[in-house]
Structure formats: structure tokens, C-alpha cells
Amino acid sequence: MIQLGCSLLGSSVEEDRYWSMEDYEAAVPRWCSGCGDHAVLTAVQKLLEVKQLPPEETVFVSGIGCSSRFPHYIDSYGFHGLHGRALPLATGVKLRRKDLNVFAVMGDGDCTSIGAAHWIHTLRYNPNITALMLDNGVYGLTKNQTSPTSPLGVKSNTQPRGALLNPMNPIATTLGVQNASFVAQTGDWAPDHIYETIKAGFEHRGFSFIRILQRCPAYTDHLYLEAMRNPDSIEMLTHPNGINSEFTEEIYKNHVYHDPSDLVNAFRLAQVGEKIRLGLFYRNDDLPVYEEVRTVPTHAADEKIAILNAELDKYAV
Amino acid sequence: MTTSSTAPTKKKKKKQAKPTPGDKNIITAAEQTVEVVSDSGEGAQKCAQTFGRVSAMMGNGVWTVEIIPAEIQPPPRTPTSASGNRIRIGTKPVTNWGDAAHLVVAFNEQVLLQRHRAGALQRGCIILIESMWENHDDEDIRKEWADAMEEMDGHDYRFVKFPLEEQAATIVENPQRGKNMFALGVLANVYSRDLDIIKGLITKEFLRKGQEIVDANIALLELGLTWAEENIDFKIDVPVEKSDVPMVVMNGNQAIAVGGIASGMELCSMYPITPATSASHYLSEIFESYGGIIHQAEDEIAAIGVAIGASFAGKTAFTITSGPGLALKTEFIALAVMTEVPLVIVDVQRGGPSTGLPTKIEQGDLLAAIFGQPGDAPKVVMAPATMEECFLCMTAARRIAEAYRCPVIILSDANLATGVQPFPRPNIDRDWIASPLELSPVAEGQLPYDWDSQTGLSLRVIPGQQNGMFRATGLSHDEHSKIGYTPDVHERGCEMRARKMAVFQQTLQPPEVHGDEEGDLLVVGWGSTWGAIEEAVDRAREEGLSVSSLHLRFLSPMEPGLKEIFEKFTKVMTIEINYSDDPKAPFITDENRRRGQLSWLLRSQTLVDVDCWTRVPGQPLQPGQIHDAIRAHMPTGA
């Protein structure tokens, strides 16, 4: 209660605070020009402005990789953690600080390779965190190694004759985890769609998993070339309860009407086909949220001492 | 003493000369080491634990050690099936499990054989043994009995055979499930334990299963008591010096759990691992009602990650693990060091390396805890020596972690974890309770690592505080938490994080020497070996040997003044439960010898030629063993 009182007091004193997009800017991004990370950063900063999230009550947690530099470029609290381990850190923050807006930013190697266990289990815990997986199909920071999402045959320094295996399908994998509550895909060539997707994810109560398809200008610049050049290669998932980006839907004329509450159809649509599908695959607002499941009472110090003494009584001789 | 030479296997008890209480031979002893062993699952542990608990409640000193089979369900009536407890009780406080047992209650001769082979029974040990096997209908069993007796011959064991199952069958349908309470009754008679207390404990234990079960268990207890009164012609008296201060009795993992709650930390994030997990079991029962959360993570790495996340957000958290888990947590420990996030890591050590000896004691994680991370990762490493210190370490650790913005590793071990000891009831200190989060704005321009250039200390800023926004990073960074790869940024960051440890070290007191402050030999120990080492040193001193001992609670940074203390002794050696080469073994030279972990540290710290005597038996050291080692290592000869 005391904690709540403090934060209420804080916001009432500063009622007239307003943050523009620029107010959320921190260090100048050191990403390559043409990197999709820039588009995601802009979309997020726009969301922060639209939602007027107090910077001190917002935390960006990331792993390691190009995209995990993300927190450094937003003037909020941030935790640039370990390779693959953004989600445990983010879960820890949310578990004891429900009052904070928590975002997790990961790359494809981060999320689907070294951090795969945390990815699967955080989907299951379903904390109210917005998770962005910036997927460019390559390890860029470490200079071009094959990632689990590298398309078959794409050459890298570790698989110079081309990726040996079919890529992992992160959307299908995610949908297979019980308790997954928000699963969406967007692409760096559709900025409005990125924004609308992250916004929907942020507004969703529960763990929002958003895969952002990107190319790496240094190592996988060919990846979504076709998507950028040929609108016919894209298929939009549309539904009143889905991602609403009219602008994007006008450009990309292939639409599939998909009710995001239909898990079976979501799984079918998640299978890789000729066209790249963007939109909301699945959403379930009724799933238990971990930090709410773990709600515990708040006691004053005297009550705590009384509980402790009662506990010691059990061991008294 | 009544030694029934023929086991009463028939329903009718054989007539025996019944001693009246006046006839009984009363043996008075300052201490007794008692073991109760059965096949796994027959309830010896419950019997022994209750015996230990009633002894503690009556005011005896107590120390218990579990005897556990390595398998979940080993074949019955085999030495590997031996399961139970050793309970050492004394008039004075008891600080270790002692040497060989004075009295053993065995539910069959095979589990007894295991204790005999382990050297756990002293010459002349009194053995209360189930009589049904000797003349069993099964010829093989009769042969096994005879072979076992032959093997145990020549040690002056005094066998008292008692009809455990036969007697229990008069009260319960399945005597296998009730005979442990009959055995408890026999022990209660022999050691004159307070019956009302035992009945209270039984009631508390079984009430949730129904009054009928309580009544049956109490009937079994009384039957055992009566049987012993009529058939055993001796009693053993371990006088009680009841303490004036209120006492509690708990094992080390319970102390870690209750201490963890008392410490004001409100999140424990863990992954199951033996022998640490039982601490989480105790926490799971009570932590939530207090306002804490115990999070079982998907793996050891996520467990510490969640704890660091919560600590970063202002709620200092802890994680509980054992050696293999500590190894997995290494990268995150370094992140906590680098980002200066307070954190408490409890490592209940077991035998290593690798999966090692999961249920058994070793002190093998010391160097891993201090130096396990790549690069320099300064942190506080401390080790409790008793159950009481397990409790107090927890309350101290949070405050150290927060004041110095660093991880604190607590090295407990399997001996402390499962052993039970009474200690003065802690007075809950208001300072232990964490204050509500301080979320008021910090000064504009507040740096996240506003290192004091002298001490390296800085203000901890947490999310929710206006003006404090920063991006914590495991990359080398400056006081703004800005990533910097230049030589000066990295040098300064390393220096500031290390400096805090020096400042902390200056707050510590020099350790007290047990015995004379100068002499021929100084024994140095750490962790759960404290009681056994001091007992051994006392015995050696009674013999006139010039030996003292020293026990370290802080291993990194170390308590001050060690070199000065060491210089007053002709020889210094550590005694530890971790591996070291025998200096006389083939190929071993002074140059290539692997040493005890503390001795390695002390040598580098003090430049004193610190010797070591270490063992890795998977069980606690006995004072007798240490006494022998002291004699063998006296610089003047003994």
C-alpha cells in the first residue's frame, strides 16, 4: 500500500508532464543504415509518446546482439543483459513490480537459439510483457553466422556452402506452447504495421510475442527484397480483433480473414507458404497472467514481525 | 542387561526375568551418539528425528545427521538400503556428529552391517536389533543373519534383540508401518525421554491423518516403552542443563528459509537441486502469506535471472542452489557484479565435480564461488558454521548486498542442510525487514554509478525513480552506465567494483583463535567443520599438544589479521572436506600437489606455507579423525 501511495503521489504532483518522441531518445543508435532495428525503434518511441508512458516507469530489457542495444537508445530504465536471457530478467522485473511497463527486445539467435528455453517458458508463464523478436535470420554483431531462422541455403561464415537445415518457424513454435496469449508477425518494410502491432501487443494483457521480419543490410540484405518490391508476395491477416493498419492493408491487397481466437486456423496460417503473412495469428485475453497468479499480500513491518515470530514458534523448544 | 539369546518369533513372548526399575543399571554419560537404521521407507528417520527433537526440547545439546541411501527404493534387507539418522545428544551444546555410535537401533541385520562396515559403531556399542530374522522361516534369511553376525564378531558389540514387528502387530495391521514408533518407545525408555513431549510431537505430526492414526502411534510408543521397562535392564542418563534463553531447533535449510524471510528479501527464485531444494520446500509453505514469492524457474540460469531482474527493480532477491547450479549461474553472477545489482546466492554444497555426490557433503565450491567467473568479479563469499549462522548469514547477506551493490554467495553444505541443532531463538530485528521501496525522484543528473573515488560505493537507483533513468549493461561502462571500451573506462570500472570489497573487508573483525594465540600448530577451517575441528583441538590440547584453531566465516574478502596470527605458529594447516593430494602419493611433489581450497587461498593471501589435511568421504569429518590428523601433522611430532 505504501508503495502504491508513493507512485500515486509521484504522478499527481507531475500531472502536467508531457513527453514527445524526442524525449524518449537516449544515445544515437549505432546500427547500420538500412537496418530494420531503426524502424522498430521509431515505432516504439511513437508508442511511448502516444501512450505517454512515464520514462521512469518503463523498462526495456534486452539480451545480446545488434538489436539488444535497443535499451541504450531509449531514455527510460533499461537492462542490457546476457545473450539469450532477456526474458528471465524481464520476468523478474515484472514479478515484483507490476507497476512498471516492461518490454523485452531480442534477436533471433538470442530468442530462438541460446534463449530458447526461456522463450518457451516465458510464453507459458504469460507475464504482462511486450516481447519483440527482431529476426533478421543471421548473427550480425558477431559477423555473419547462421541462425536458427536463416533460410535453407543462405551462406554464412559458419555454413559457407549454405544453411544446412530448414529454418525454425518461430510463429508455429510459439503457437504450440500452452498459454501463449498474443502471437503476431510484422515486417520492417511496413512501418505503420510495426507500430500497430507493437501497440496491440502493449495493450494486450499478457505476454505479447511479436516477430519482426527484417533484413540485415550487411549479411542478409536479400532476405525480404521480394517483400519490399512486390506487394503481391505479402498476405495480410485481417479481422476487427486483429492488427488494424489500414495504410498497410491498402498497399498489400492479399487479405485473409482470420479470427485471432482460432488457434487451429492460426497454426495452419503459420505454416510457411508462398506468401509472407503479417498480422495477428493468435490472441487470448483470458489466460492467467503470471504476476497476477503470484499476487501476495502486503504487510506492514509489525505484521511481518508477528508472522516471523509465529514461524519461529513452530521451531521453538 | 538382558540379552535374549533366542528371538521370540512366536506370538507368545518368552518368559524373561523382568527387571524392576530399582534393578536397572543407570549409566550416566555426558554425551551419547545414537543411530536408528532401517530399510528405506520403514520410518527410522521419523523415529530418530522425533528422538532428536524431544532431546532438544528437554534441553540436551543435539546434532543430527541423515543416513540416506543413494537410491530411491533400494532392495530391502541389503546394506545399501540403510536409511536413518545419527543423533548425538549431550549435556552441553553439541556441534558435530561425533565419532562412533554408542547405541544403535537396527530394524534388520543387513542395514546394521552397513553401519558396521562404515566404521560407525564403537567397540562395545549397544545394538538393539529386531529379533525376527534370526530364526526366520526363510532359510536364506537365517543364513544372512548368521553371516552378518559372524562378520560383526570380535567388536564386543552388545546385542539386545527385540521383537519389533511382533509387538507392533498387536496394535496395527501392517507392523512394517508402525514399528518405528515402537522403537521410539524403547529409546524413550532407555534414555528417559519426556513422554508428554513425545506424545505432543506425535499428535502434531499425525493429526492431519486423523485421531485414529494419532492414537495408534501413541499406543505403539507406549508399548515400546513398557516392553523396554520390562525387558531391558539398563538406562542411560544424559543429564540436562536447560538453557535460560528460549531456543529453536531447525536444520540448516530451514534456517536458510526462515532467515531468508527474516532478511526482508521478498523473492526467492530457484530450480530444484539436491541438497538445496528442501529450503525451497519450507519457503513454499510460508513465504506467500508473508508477502514473498518463490518462483520455480525453468532452469538454474533463469532462476538467477529472475532474481536479478527483481533486484534490479528494487526488490533484492535470492536464489538457492548447489554446485552444478552454481556453475550454470556463473554468467549471471558476473552480470550482477558488473551491473552492481544486489543479490544473494545460497550454495548448499554437495560432492563434486559434475553430478558427483548429490546427497552428500563436500566443501568443494569455495574457489568456484570466488573465482568462477571470467574476468575479475569481486563479490562477498561467506560460510555459516552452524544452523544458527545459516539463519544469521541470510539476514546479514541482504544488507551487505545492498550496501555494497554486489552479489553475496553463502556456502552452506549438505551437513548443515539436513542436520538439526537447537540454538537461541533469534530476536527479530526491525532492521532486517526491508523498508517499502523508495521511489521518490533522485536529484537531476544523478549518475547510476556515482562511484565515490575512495570507496567505489554509489547510490542504488531503481526503476520508478524520476531523473534516475539509466541502462544497466554487462558491457564495460562508465559512471553514466555508458558503454566504453577505452582502457581508462574499463580500468576504472574494475577498480571501483573491487574497491568496495576492500572497504567491506575493513569492517570485519579479525577472527578469534580457539586455544592459545601462539603455539606449534594452527588449524584453519571454514563452514560446517567448525564443531568437529574445535572438539578435536580440545582433545589434543588435553593431551598437552600445542594446537589452536581458527574458523573463517568470510572467505572473500577474508577477515583481517590472518598473517599476524599465522606468524605466531610454527605450522599452519587447513582442514577441509575437499580434495587434496596426499604429499606422499606417487608423483606428488610440493610443486604439483593439489591442495585444499582454503589452503590454496591462504597461501596466496599470506605467503605463509599453509599445509592442508583434507578428505572427501561424502560425510562429515569426525572429531576423532581430525584429532589423528592433528597428531600426524604436529611440527614437533606427537
Question: How high does pLDDT run on average in chain B?
Answer: 94
- Place B629 in a pLDDT band, splitting at 50, 70 and 90: very high
- For residue B338, the distance in angstroms to the closest alpha carbon of chain A comes to 10
Residue B46 forms part of a structural domain:
yes
Pairwise CB contact (< 8 Å): A121 & B297: yes
Helix B530-542 and helix B623-633, axial crossing angle in degrees, nearest 10: 60
Of the candidates A221, A33, A37, A63, the one whose C-alpha atom is nearest the C-alpha of residue A144 is A221
Same domain, B173 and B263: no
Closest chain B residue to the Cα of A60, Cα to Cα: B471
Q: How far is CA B488 from CA A3, A27, B476, B493, in A?
A: 40, 21, 10, 8
Pairwise CB contact (< 8 Å): B463 & A59: yes
Contacting residues of B for A304, CB less than 8 Å apart = 290-291, 433
Kindly give, in sequence order, each residue whose CB lies less than 8 Å from that of residue B433, ignoring residues fewer than 6 positions away: A301, A304, A305, B262, B264
Q: According to the model, what pLDDT value does residue A15 have?
A: 64
Same domain, B269 and B385: yes
- For residue A163, the distance in angstroms to the closest alpha carbon of chain B comes to 29
Contacting residues of B for A307, CB less than 8 Å apart = 289-290
The last residue of a domain, from among B384, B399, B425 = B425
Same domain, B191 and B206: yes
B181 touches B214 (CB < 8 A): no
Q: According to the model, what pLDDT value does residue B68 have?
A: 86
Query: What is the C-alpha separation between B97 and B88, in angstroms, rounded?
Result: 6
pLDDT tens per residue across span A115-127? 999 999 999 999 9
Contacting residues of B for A101, CB less than 8 Å apart = none
Q: By three-state DSSP, how is residue B102 classified?
A: strand
- Place B636 in a pLDDT band, splitting at 50, 70 and 90: confident
- Single-letter code of the amino acid located at B151: E
Pairwise CB contact (< 8 Å): A55 & B426: no
Same domain, B268 and B348: yes
Residue B242 forms part of a structural domain:
no
Q: Quick check: B625 pLDDT over 90? A: yes
A60 touches A70 (CB < 8 A): yes
More confident residue, A13 or A196: A196
Q: What percent of chain A has pLDDT over 70?
A: 95
Pairwise CB contact (< 8 Å): A92 & B249: no
Same domain, B495 and B548: no
Q: According to the model, what pLDDT value does residue B637 have?
A: 65
Kindly state the cell numbers that stand for A70. Answer: 535497443
Among A92, A118, A298, beta carbon nearest to B298: A118
Residue B531 forms part of a structural domain:
yes
Contacting residues of A for B304, CB less than 8 Å apart = 88
Of the candidates A293, A239, A244, the one whose C-alpha atom is nearest the C-alpha of residue A266 is A239
Among A76, A91, A304, beta carbon nearest to B306: A91
CB pairs under 8 A between A and B: 202
Q: Quick check: B14 pLDDT over 70? A: no
Same domain, B87 and B130: yes
Closest chain B residue to the Cα of A2, Cα to Cα: B436
Q: According to the model, what pLDDT value does residue A178 have?
A: 86
Among A75, A82, A301, beta carbon nearest to B331: A82
Same domain, B377 and B492: no
Flag whether residue A151 sits within 8 Å of chain B, measured between CB atoms: no
Mean pLDDT of A4-24: 67
Same domain, B233 and B256: no
Query: What is the C-alpha separation between B354 and B332, in angstroms, rounded?
Result: 20
Kindly state the cell numbers that stand for B24. Answer: 536397572
Q: Scanning the structure block, which residue is given the C-alpha cell 542395514?
A: B111
Pairwise CB contact (< 8 Å): A89 & B439: no
Kindly give, in sequence order, each residue whose CB lies less than 8 Å from that of residue B486, ignoring residues fewer than 6 positions away: none
Number of H helices, E strands in chain B: 19, 23
Query: What is the C-alpha separation between B48 and B83, in angstroms, rounded?
Result: 11
Query: What is the C-alpha separation between B349 and B368, in angstroms, rounded?
Result: 11
pLDDT tens per residue across span B108-140? 999 999 999 999 999 999 999 999 999 999 999
- Place B602 in a pLDDT band, splitting at 50, 70 and 90: very high
Q: Quick check: B2 pLDDT over 50? A: no
Residue B14 forms part of a structural domain:
no
Kindly state the cell numbers that stand for A135. Answer: 529476426
Beta strands A130-135 and A208-213, pairing class: parallel
Q: How far is CA A88 from CA A8, A119, A174, B281, B301, in A?
A: 28, 9, 17, 22, 8
Work out how many domains chain B is built from and give that number. Answer: 4
pLDDT tens per residue across span A70-108? 999 999 999 999 999 999 999 999 999 999 999 999 999
Closest chain A residue to the Cα of B245, Cα to Cα: A317
Can you name the residues that pair with B521 across neighbouring β-strands? B547, B571
- For residue B61, the distance in angstroms to the closest alpha carbon of chain A comes to 12
Pick the residue of A1, A24, A97 with the most B CBs within 10 A to test the interface with B by mutation: A97
Measured in whole angstroms, how far is the alpha carbon of residue B438 from the centre of its chain?
37
Domain A21-315 CATH class label: alpha beta
Same domain, B142 and B278: no
Instruction: List, as one string, the DSSP characters of chain A.
Output: -HHHHHHHHHHHHTTT----GGGGB-SPP-PPTT-HHHHHHHHHHHHHHHHT--GGGEEEEE-SSSGGGGGGGBSSEEEE--TT-HHHHHHHHHHH-TTSEEEEEEEHHIIIIITHHHHHHHHHH--S-EEEEEE-SEETTTTSEE-TTSPTT---SSSTT---SPPP-HHHHHHTSTT--EEEEEETT-HHHHHHHHHHHHHSSSPEEEEEE---TTT-TTTTHHHHH-GGGEEEEE-TTS---HHHHHH---EEE--TT-HHHHHHHHS--SSEEEEEEEE-TTSPPHHHHT------HHHHHHHHHHHHHHHB-
Kindly give, in sequence order, each residue whose CB lies less than 8 Å from that of residue A118, ignoring residues fewer than 6 positions away: A84, A85, A86, A87, A88, B298, B301, B302, B305
Can you name the residues that pair with A315 across neighbouring β-strands? none
Of the candidates B78, B66, B72, the one whose C-alpha atom is nearest the C-alpha of residue B39 is B78
Pairwise CB contact (< 8 Å): A91 & B267: no
Beta strands A138-139 and A101-107, pairing class: unpaired
Kindly give, in sequence order, each residue whose CB lies less than 8 Å from that of residue A254, ignoring residues fewer than 6 positions away: A232, A234, A235, A236, A275
Kindly give, in sequence order, each residue whose CB lies less than 8 Å from that of residue A85, ignoring residues fewer than 6 positions away: A63, A115, A118, B301, B302, B305, B331, B332
Residue B10 forms part of a structural domain:
no
Closest chain A residue to the Cα of B441, Cα to Cα: A10
What are residue A277's phi and psi, to 5 degrees? -100, 130
Same domain, B360 and B496: no
Query: What is the C-alpha separation between B342 and B233, in angstroms, rounded?
Result: 60
Residue B1 forms part of a structural domain:
no
Mean pLDDT of A194-221: 97
CATH number at residue B144: 3.40.920.10
Query: What is the C-alpha separation between B524 and B611, in angstroms, rounded?
Result: 10
- Place B11 in a pLDDT band, splitting at 50, 70 and 90: very low
Can you name the residues that pair with B627 across neighbouring β-strands? none
Question: How high does pLDDT run on average in chain A?
Answer: 94
Pick the residue of A19, A85, A179, A314 with the most B CBs within 10 A to test the interface with B by mutation: A85
- For residue A145, the distance in angstroms to the closest alpha carbon of chain B comes to 22
Q: What is the pTM of this model?
A: 0.94
Query: What is the C-alpha separation between B255 and B388, in angstroms, rounded?
Result: 7
Instruction: List, as one string, the DSSP characters of B200-265.
Output: HHHHHHHGGG-HHHHHHHHHHHHHHHHHHHHH--EEEE------SS-EEEEEHHHHHHHHHHHTT-
More confident residue, A8 or A88: A88
Q: Quick check: B391 pLDDT over 80? A: yes
pLDDT tens per residue across span B552-565? 999 999 999 999 99
Query: What is the C-alpha separation between B127 and A221, in angstroms, rounded?
Result: 81
Closest chain A residue to the Cα of B427, Cα to Cα: A309
B385 touches B530 (CB < 8 A): yes
- Asked if the peptide bond before residue B557 counts as cis, ω within 30 degrees of 0, the response is yes
Closest chain A residue to the Cα of B318, Cα to Cα: A92
Q: What percent of chain A has pLDDT over 90?
A: 92
B502 touches B452 (CB < 8 A): no
pLDDT tens per residue across span B538-549? 999 999 999 999
- Place B51 in a pLDDT band, splitting at 50, 70 and 90: very high
Q: According to the model, what pLDDT value does residue B20 have?
A: 58
Q: According to the model, what pLDDT value does residue A71 have?
A: 98
The last residue of a domain, from among B459, B480, B507 = B507
Pick the residue of B284, B294, B462, B469 with the most A CBs within 10 A to test the interface with A by mutation: B469
Q: According to the model, what pLDDT value does residue B170 have?
A: 93
- For residue A127, the distance in angstroms to the closest alpha carbon of chain B comes to 12
Q: How many CB atoms lie within 10 A of CB B461?
A: 23
- For residue A263, the distance in angstroms to the closest alpha carbon of chain B comes to 25
More confident residue, A2 or B440: B440
B468 touches B449 (CB < 8 A): no
Same domain, B573 and B497: no
Q: Quick check: B638 pLDDT over 60? A: no
Q: Quick check: A3 pLDDT over 60? A: no
Q: According to the model, what pLDDT value does residue B41 have?
A: 87
- Single-letter code of the amino acid located at B538: D
- Place A51 in a pLDDT band, splitting at 50, 70 and 90: very high
Q: Quick check: B506 pLDDT over 80? A: yes
Q: According to the model, what pLDDT value does residue A13 have?
A: 46
The last residue of a domain, from among B366, B397, B425 = B425
Half-sphere exposure of B391 (CA within 13 A, CB side): 24
Of the candidates B386, B447, B398, the one whose C-alpha atom is nearest the C-alpha of residue B422 is B386
B58 touches B52 (CB < 8 A): no
Of the candidates B414, B407, B424, B399, the one whose C-alpha atom is nearest the C-alpha of residue B372 is B407
CATH number at residue B571: 3.40.50.920
Kindly state the cell numbers that stand for A176. Answer: 504450440
pLDDT tens per residue across span A153-171? 999 999 999 999 999 999 9
Mean pLDDT of B272-279: 96
Pairwise CB contact (< 8 Å): B335 & A297: no
Closest chain B residue to the Cα of A72, Cα to Cα: B471
Among B309, B467, B469, beta carbon nearest to A76: B469
Pick the residue of B306, B337, B435, B467 with the most A CBs within 10 A to test the interface with A by mutation: B306
Among B290, B305, B483, beta carbon nearest to A89: B305
Helix or strand holding residue B409 (H, E)? strand B407-413
Query: What is the C-alpha separation between A213 and A170, in angstroms, rounded?
Result: 11
CATH number at residue B286: 3.40.50.970
Pairwise CB contact (< 8 Å): A89 & B53: no
Pairwise CB contact (< 8 Å): B425 & A14: no
Same domain, B451 and B381: no
Domain ranges of chain A: 21-315
- Place B246 in a pLDDT band, splitting at 50, 70 and 90: very high
Q: By three-state DSSP, how is residue B555 classified?
A: strand
Kindly state the cell numbers that stand for B86. Answer: 545419527
Pairwise CB contact (< 8 Å): A316 & B426: no
- Place B16 in a pLDDT band, splitting at 50, 70 and 90: very low
What are residue B573's phi and psi, to 5 degrees? -145, 150
Pairwise CB contact (< 8 Å): B298 & A26: no
Flag whether residue A306 sits within 8 Å of chain B, measured between CB atoms: no
Which domain range does residue B501 map to? 441-507
pLDDT tens per residue across span B341-375? 999 999 999 999 999 999 999 999 999 999 999 99
ipTM of the predicted assembly exceeds 0.85: yes
Pick the residue of B205, B266, B312 with the most A CBs within 10 A to test the interface with A by mutation: B312
Q: Burial code of A231-270, b = ≥16 C-beta within 10 A, e = fewer?
A: eebbbbbbbeebbbbeebbeebeeeeebebeeeebbeebb
